[in-house]
Structure 1
């Protein structure tokens, strides 16, 4: 096996996203970049005037137009940088638009404190004025956060620290995506295989255990060599969050992060408690994996190994597109037609190349189509990733085509729902195929179990890591390599149980999790997946009524609080019931997988 990454110019442009629908060229972007300065410079002129419905409406119109333009510029720069993180021109674009964003935010820092300083009676009358109707929800949400909004000079000062607060993430991103170099590794046949951040997980899914182990040890050897830098950057990110929470009079950085979406903290703690209550099922899964692989010891580099030949099947990109379309068919023709549009209009940047950002994401601005970055390798997981990211993009599409700019952005709390609905529909579609042999069925069930493992169990483990790391900083404890390694290692032991051998390298895994630099985001994967289980099952069970509720949810964007939007779709996360129901399904899928293993073993003995 030899995995050689190509330079981007060597790939077929038809397999790359088409950014010309945003800007025809980088030169056109530069023209638009320069032209936005007058808008930024005009914003401070509103200071001292925000005391009537007319002036507030005028300010928000100008604000919306400005940040709509900045959003276009920022998304394009970020997409260009993702293509090749080594590219100096893209790095420059990203840095300059970030600085301009910070300048724009600094220039409007007066607005929220000024509006919130109005007498309550004046604010009530303004909220009832028809002139502010397009911004009523925005203003009501602003009033909700009044106790945590600082004075105008203080808000302006905090805004000016935007780049400083973002520096730890930038340091970690550059280290991971551009600077880390991994030693090549050998497979069982003695062939040399290139190792990179983008192909590491692919190598961990190889049937070649020698390759899995060698890539695992090489990968974390490099992280260990830089662990002091990673610890310093993460400590800086946590301390920045803790400092801002204290300045804004929140009880903790977690309370501040969750308040932005109006999510009660018990939602987080209920998730952790529910998942910990179902850890015996995860231990069963670890044992089943060890049994199928026929190993005396199960190591961390075995947790992604394929359990059957079926899971090692490879698919072309064209096959992947059709599989996704077949899977989402229950959501109706309108939904499917837009998915087809995304495929034909090159929303997707498909294959890995040297310097390309690893992983996958969906992005886009209000005025652009959605864009999807993947590093497609032909595995079933890669197909699932396309379904996942297309779910994000469809949520964005419906929101942007229904809501005005000020309420189009859905919150992070609901962001993972649409993506995992698509993942679940894909697996359910594949499992519904007739005359399936036990090994193929086991492969699909294992993919389902892997989705639960990665999205509910692991993300909740990450959520516990974040909760404790931030609490440690708030108690004045050091966030150094020793403390962070020990915290992470202990959680892995708790979540995967006694059957898993704890290799020394495991303790460094926290350093490669980029979401830790977006405080208290990862728990939303787990809550989102739990909601997605409920919604996808409702779609398949009820048909049109559930589809209608779900599509209405996708159209809501950010026009309501996320818990209210989910209730509209049919899920209530103020109770632990959705999480427990999802984990109960994990147990049922696991039981099916265990029966498949027994059937395979019986057939093997014949």
Structure 2
């Protein structure tokens, strides 16, 4: 039975994260902002208009790194305290206030990149040779040089950043504050509904009548807000297109892929191959679900049902610790110490409450420790999600220890590889511990339904839809709810064909994801999982040497391109082979599920 969510004030403290590791009190937070403003003013006075030679370049960047380190925990505290409860007026006003302050500070500091960009390339290269700490930063300055605008324009854009980023805040406010779901009814009984309960419960409910009724009620409510949501998204898209044009990029795709250090061919290949090659495997999986559950027809609302809901164990937060530690023990003592600390020091916000951000994420402020948000429901899926987020945490835990603040963050293209790696390690560990057909089927179905469905289907279909949206924007168009619905439905129908009925409401799935406000992010999930699938196979086959290579990749942070990082782990992502191998591996898993199901059914009938 899904319960109504409590307010934040009523959840157990031990199930919340400890933001006091960022700031002990509100006074400390406010003093940090005041000190930061003074530091920026002094820095501007010391360096503005005076960056002219190698010595001043290095001195300016040292000072800039120091300021950046002070900004990070302030931004993290502001964001995290807001995401734990969007209905908290104090947290929302704090976020709004700091957004304005950060925009002003960004405007004051914009001279750094402008002045560096105006210096001769030879001088920047000389500075790179004399300071390894800032080599990567200056390399980026050189890369961005052709797209840098006049200093006053850069200053203005930085000053407008809180306004330019407003659509994302508006999206979250609409989604998490304004939308209130009514109870839905099945056979005279009423059941509570919310974003969290739908995504964490009703969407995978084994009872078909309840699941489909929850689906209908959920999407009926979303439909009431579709025009506001579409207008908000269109504002964001038009902003990206305008900045892309201003900076002189050929397309908005080039603009959004620039910082990922990935060309258009790698982006397109990820989407095109999966849409074509994975679709037959996933249709086969959908047919298996329909058969096992005895469904009259397979609809979009049925795709998240567990293959064997009766075998799904309920797992407490405390019990999850053993699953996680046993699965990740292959990563070594230092990694396990990080996992232990995450539990002992309350890095994770497990609580379910009204106004909390949906889904899960990991924030890794430099100089502190990672923070993880998840809404714990007690399913095995939660354990996989937590392992996933601890993959992000372990990545930055390692990168921050070995790299400075400018060098620690890799390309967005690579960001989901360490997280999905942990899901693969968990699955491998579980499979190695039993020969029981029902247990094996449960583990493999967890991998398919959680790891691969989520990253290779849900997020990939977002990416295919997103590409169509940006193609429209690039051609000078705009979008509204009807356009977005049509594009989303078209992608879903193309992937699932006649095997899954795309029921009314499915086209509104675009309203559920914040990823569309984060550039070309959705396709990177499948890119990361392609890398981690191949590396996890290496770890299974080779053990410690493959793990050591992977730890070096994590420690490298952002000092290498995605292709170079993958190459360090033994994967060549410049070709299509790793992706084809991964799709083939998913197909093999689904075939195993079909065989195990036949074996189980044979035993049950004899």
- TM-score of the superposition, structure 1-length normalised? 0.96
Q: Out of 110-119 and 549-558, give the one that drifted further.
A: 110-119
Cα distance in 1 for residues equivalent to 2:317 and 2:258: 41
How far off is 1:397 after superposition? 0.7
The answer to whether the Cα contact below 8 Å between 2:65 and 2:405 also exists between their aligned partners in 1 is: yes
- Does 2:51 align with 1:75? no
Q: SS at 2:500's partner residue? A: coil
- Does 2:254 align with 1:255? yes
Q: What is residue 381 of structure 1 aligned with on the other side?
A: 381
How many residue pairs align between the two structures? 602
How far off is 1:320 after superposition? 1.1
1:283-432 aligned within 5 A: 283-432=283-432
- Does 2:143 align with 1:144? yes
Cα distance in 2 for residues equivalent to 1:474 and 1:90: 37
Cα distance in 2 for residues equivalent to 1:78 and 1:517: 15
Q: What is residue 39 of structure 1 aligned with on the other side?
A: 39
The answer to whether the Cα contact below 8 Å between 2:37 and 2:105 also exists between their aligned partners in 1 is: no
Q: What is residue 457 of structure 1 aligned with on the other side?
A: 457
1:38-187 aligned within 5 A: 38-45=38-45, 46-128=47-129, 130=130, 132-187=131-186
Cα distance in 2 for residues equivalent to 1:149 and 1:562: 24
Say what the alpha-carbon RMSD is for the aligned residues: 1.5
Cα distance in 1 for residues equivalent to 2:356 and 2:146: 43
Cα distance in 2 for residues equivalent to 1:453 and 1:61: 44
The answer to whether the Cα contact below 8 Å between 1:116 and 1:146 also exists between their aligned partners in 2 is: yes
How far off is 1:400 after superposition? 1.1
- 1:522-556 deviation line (CA, Å, top 9, x unaligned): 11111001111011111121111101100001111
Cα distance in 2 for residues equivalent to 1:120 and 1:2: 61
**Which of 180, 191, 194 pairs up with 2:192?**
194
Cα distance in 2 for residues equivalent to 1:269 and 1:484: 20
Cα distance in 1 for residues equivalent to 2:307 and 2:125: 62
The answer to whether the Cα contact below 8 Å between 1:351 and 1:377 also exists between their aligned partners in 2 is: no
How far off is 1:71 after superposition? 0.9
- TM-score of the superposition, structure 2-length normalised? 0.96
How far off is 1:409 after superposition? 2.3
Structure 1 stretches lacking a partner, 5+ long: none
How far off is 1:282 after superposition? 1.6
- 1:283-320 deviation line (CA, Å, top 9, x unaligned): 11111111111112111111111221355321111111
Cα distance in 2 for residues equivalent to 1:20 and 1:291: 51
Q: What is residue 590 of structure 2 aligned with on the other side?
A: 590
How far off is 1:564 after superposition? 1.4
- Does 2:574 align with 1:574? yes
Cα distance in 1 for residues equivalent to 2:366 and 2:120: 34
Cα distance in 1 for residues equivalent to 2:210 and 2:68: 48
Cα distance in 2 for residues equivalent to 1:4 and 1:483: 34
The answer to whether the Cα contact below 8 Å between 2:12 and 2:351 also exists between their aligned partners in 1 is: no
How far off is 1:351 after superposition? 2.0
Structure 2 stretches lacking a partner, 5+ long: none
How far off is 1:334 after superposition? 2.1
How far off is 1:602 after superposition? 1.4
Q: What is residue 558 of structure 2 aligned with on the other side?
A: 558
The 1:370/1:178 distance shift into structure 2, 3 A limit, reads same
Q: What is residue 25 of structure 2 aligned with on the other side?
A: 25
Q: SS at 2:270's partner residue? A: helix
